[in-house]
């Protein structure tokens, strides 16, 4: 690929992906990039950090910022942290993708719409999960109703999971970006380190395996990430809040922890393109999700 960064017309800019929890923001980003950098599960609030995904084409570089789902914060420090991260992502971006789910509209969607009233940045309304809408005749009236809520640059129905209409979405996003040279090398897809991605992949397997039992009581800290003979040696701690939760994560005779480690290692080897040796421990840190200082020590620093 030959980039046009030295020619007139090359575009580059930041695109915030926002929406309430579980509307498919991370799936959308992964599908656009063609590879996994943002973890997904069926549980709301799986994404806890800002994730930058870099999509470089011949004449544009699109810098997508995936965010935690904006929600009505409870009293937990973790909830407040995620809302701060998502809100901060709206600053200094060139385009906002407001992702909603099919014909469903909730009070949290309305809250986000209210936040967007003060922004001068172009907003594209992305109506995701098109493939799950059974009554297709309801779509046009729904789009008409949404178009009356504010002036959107575009309203684009998509299916992130199936890849439908994403080329249209990307074309419209690129057209709204400023003329500017690329900020990152053309082969870079994120600004996050392999160490960070390793922790996230472990947490994804935890959410998928134990999300019903321990939806938000788990986090992961990578204590060691080293290379030996082109093999990544990764030591990670799974933090929970109570001893009973530790037993659940480990499982009978260690079976659950072994399965989580196996699945995470396989994903790491695909993404890092090298062999991975992974060791996991489970430890208890009481009340970590409700303690601002504990959150910062575990990497929840809003960067």
Q: What is the DSSP letter of 239?
A: E
Strands 231-240 and 219-228: antiparallel
Residues of the chain with pLDDT under 70: 1-7, 70-75, 302-303
What CATH architecture is 194-297? 2-Layer Sandwich (3.30)
pLDDT at 5: 47
pLDDT at 2: 47
- Asked if the domains 11-176 and 194-297 are classified in one and the same CATH topology, the answer is no
Q: What is the DSSP letter of 7?
A: S
pLDDT at 74: 58
Closest C-alpha to 17, from 179, 126, 107: 126
Domains of the chain, by residue range, sit at 11-176, 194-297
pLDDT at 80: 78
- Please provide the CATH number assigned to the domain covering 11-176: 3.40.50.300
pLDDT at 62: 96
pLDDT at 81: 73
pLDDT at 79: 75
pTM assigned to the model? 0.86
């Amino acid at each position: 690929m030959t980039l046009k960064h030295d020619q007139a017309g090359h575009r580059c800019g930041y695109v915030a992906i926002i929406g309430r929890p579980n509307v498919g923001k991370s799936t959308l980003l992964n599908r656009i990039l063609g590879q996994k950098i943002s973890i997904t599960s069926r549980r709301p609030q799986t994404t806890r950090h800002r994730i930058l995904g870099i999509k470089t084409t011949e004449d544009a570089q699109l810098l997508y910022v995936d965010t935690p789902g904006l929600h009505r914060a409870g009293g937990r420090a973790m909830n407040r942290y995620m809302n701060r991260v998502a809100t901060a992502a709206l600053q200094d971006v060139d385009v906002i993708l407001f992702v909603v789910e099919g014909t469903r509209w909730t009070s949290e969607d309305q809250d986000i719409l209210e936040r967007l009233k003060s922004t001068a940045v172009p907003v594209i309304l992305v109506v995701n999960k098109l493939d799950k809408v059974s009554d297709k005749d309801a779509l046009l009236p729904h789009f008409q109703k949404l178009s009356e809520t504010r002036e959107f640059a575009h309203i684009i129905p998509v299916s992130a999971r199936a890849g439908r209409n994403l080329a249209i979405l990307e074309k419209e996003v690129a057209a709204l970006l400023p003329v500017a040279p690329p900020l990152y090398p053309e082969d870079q897809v994120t600004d996050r380190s392999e160490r960070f991605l390793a922790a996230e992949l472990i947490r994804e397997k935890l959410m998928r395996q134990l999300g019903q039992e321990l939806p938000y009581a788990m986090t992961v800290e990578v204590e060691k990430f080293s290379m030996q003979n082109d093999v990544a040696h990764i030591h990670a701690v799974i933090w929970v809040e109570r001893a009973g939760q530790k037993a659940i994560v480990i499982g009978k005779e260690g079976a659950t922890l072994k399965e989580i480690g196996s699945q995470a290692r396989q994903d790491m080897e695909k993404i890092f393109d090298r062999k991975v040796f992974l060791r996991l421990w489970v430890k208890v840190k009481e009340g970590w999700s409700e303690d601002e200082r504990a959150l910062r020590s575990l990497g929840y620093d809003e960067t």
